[in-house]
Structure 1
Amino acid sequence: MCNQNFRCLRAKDMRFEEQVAIVTGAAAGLGRAYAIALAERGAKVVIIDSEPLSSKDSGLRSCAKAITTLGGDVQVFCLDISDSAAVNAMVDDVISTWGKVDILINNAGIHRSCPFEQLSESAWKRQFDVDVNGSFNMTKAVWPSMKRGGYGRIIMTCASSIFGDVYETSFSASKMALIGLVNSLHLEGQEFDIAVNTITPHAVTQMTAEHLAPTVRPLFSKTTALSAVLYLCSAKCPSGKHLFAAAGSISEAGIIEFSASRFTAEECTPEIIHSRWGDIHRAKPYRSRSSGEAQVLAWAKASAEQRDIELE
C-alpha cells in the first residue's frame, strides 16, 4: 500500500504522449516492466538489451510485442551499452526517427556475487563497464539533445548493496559510483530542466527471486518500484534525489554529515581523536549538503569562526 503522504500514480495523472523514452536492460524483469508501463501511458519506447534477437525466447522481442499489442510505438536495439560507438549510433538513429529523447532509464546491469579474494580484475572491470561506463555512455549520448530541447529525465539504477553486502564488492562499488555521478550531473542539468535521479528498487525478478525466501516473495511485487520510476520520469519529479522503493515502501536516501567536533591545531592528534571518538561518532544534529562546494564553504566558515576571522 502507498503511504497516504505519497500520491499513488494513476494513468490519468501522469501521461507521456509525444515523449520518447529509452530503457536499457529491457528484455526482462523491471526493465521490461518500465518499458511497457511507459508505453501504456503514451510514450514512444526504445528498448535495449545485449541478448541476441535471434534467440528463440528473445525477451526483447517479447517486450516489443507486448508494447505493439498495446498500440504503442517501439524501437528495438540489441547492443552492449559499454560500446560507446554502438550507443552513439543507436541514439542518432532514434533522434533521426523520432526527433528527440525525453526519458532515459539506465536499468541495465550485471550481478555476480564473489568473495573478494576470488574477484578477478576482468570481472571487476566488466562490472564497471556495464553499470558505470554503460550508464555514462547512454547519458552522454542523449545529453546534448536534452539540453537543446530544454527538458530531460534520467534515472540511474542502484541497489541496496550500496550499504555493503558480503561478496558484493564490485556490485556495491559500481552502484555507489552512480550516486556520485547523479550528485554532480543533476547540478549541470538544472538550467535545462534535466532531472537526474537514482532509484534503488527491489522486486521479484529472475535475478532476485533466489535471494528472497518464499514467504516474503509475495511482498516484493513490481508495483512500488514501477510507481516510483514513473514518478521520476514525469515533469513533476525532483532532481538529484536517491529513492528506495520496494515492498510498499518509498523513501529518500542521502549522504549526511553529523555535527562536527572542533579542534585546535595543537590538540588535533590521532590520540585525541581516539579519546573523543564517542563525541564525534554520529553527533547530532546532522545535515546534508547541496554540493561539494557547499561542504568546503561550511568547513571554511566554521574554521574562520573559531579563529575570529571574517569571511567576505
Structure 2
Amino acid sequence: MANSQIKLTKDKFAPAIIDSSLGEAIDKPSLNAWQDAWLRVRKNKAAIVSMVVIVLVILLAFTGPLFSGKEAKTQTLPHNNLPSRIPVLENISWLPFDGMRTLNNGTQVDIYEQKGIEEYYWFGTDGLGRDLFTRVCEGTQISLYIAFLAALLDMLIGVTYGAVSGYFGGRLDNYMQRFTEILSSIPNLVIVILMILVFKPGIVSITLALALTGWVSMARVVRAQTMKMKEQEFVLASRTLGASNAKIIFKHLLPNMVGVILINTMFSIPNAIFFEAFLSFIGLGLQDPLASLGTLIDDGFKTLRLYPHIVIYPAIFISLIMICFNMIADGLRDALDPKMRD
C-alpha cells in the first residue's frame, strides 16, 4: 500500500548527464615496458628473495676479507684443519660454530683449547692453516668474475653473430649456421684442454674456453628472433626511409630483443660457474695460490670424512649462487614474456 502512494515525477525519467571528456581519462599513471615488467617481477617472491641473496653474497665476497682481518694465502701450520668458531654463536650449543670436533669414539673435543689457540676462524681452516672464510670470499670473487666475463663475451659474440646471420639470411646464413654446428659438436672439455696447452691454466684459459662455445645457444636464439622480426612493418619502414642494415640491426631489432637476451645471459651465468667448478674439481682449473669455489670444493673433497667443514662452506656458496641466478632468470622470463602477462 505504501509503494502505491509514491509519486513518479517527470524529473525521475530525465536522462543522466554524462561528461564525455572523462570517457578516455586515464586513472593510473602510464608505465613503460620495463616498469610493467618490474611490477610482475615483484609478484614473484622467489625471484625477489634470490636477488636479495645474490646482493648479500656479492657484498660478503668483497667485504668479508676486511672483517676477518686474515689473508687467504697466509699459512699457519699449527692452526691446520680447525673447525668453525664464531664469537657469540659459539655459546649456542646446537650450532656448529663452537670449535668442537667429534672423534671416532664419539667424544667431543675443543680443538682450539687443545691447541691453545685464542683466535677465531669463522669457517675454520684448511690443511695448511689458511683461513677458510677469507678463501671462500675470494673464491666467490673469482668464480663470479669468470662467470660474468664469460657471460658478457657470450652475449657480445652471440648477439652479433645471430643478428647478422638471421638478418641477411640466404647463403651467408647457411654458412654461418654450419660453422656453429661444427663448433657445438666439439666437446667443451677438448677445447679446455687445447686452451690449457696454448695458455697456462688460469682465468684466461678458462674464460676463453667458456666463451668459445658458450655463445652458440645465444646466437641461435637471436637468429630466430631476428628472422621473425625483420619482415615486420617497423623494419620495412626503416628500410624504406633509407636506414642502413647496421642501423636496422642495432637500433631497431636488438632493442626489441633485450628481454630474450637478458634472460639467456642470466641462465648462462650459473652454467659458467658450474663449468668452472667442474674444471677446477678435475684439476684443469685454477692453480695455487689462486682459489675458486671449485678448487676449494676439490680440496675439501679429499678430506671429506675427516674435516667436512672444508667442503661444506664453499658448496653452500656455490649452491646459493646457482639456485638464485636460476630463480632470477625464471622470474625475468615470466615478467618479460608477453604470453605470461596477467
TM-score over 0.5 for the pair: no
The structure whose RCO (Cα within 8 Å, separation 6+) is larger is: 2
Q: 1 or 2, which has the higher helix percentage?
A: 2
- Which TM-score band (shorter chain)? under 0.3
Q: 1 or 2, which has the higher strand percentage?
A: 1
What TM-score results when the alignment is normalised by the length of structure 2?
0.24
What TM-score results when the alignment is normalised by the length of structure 1?
0.26
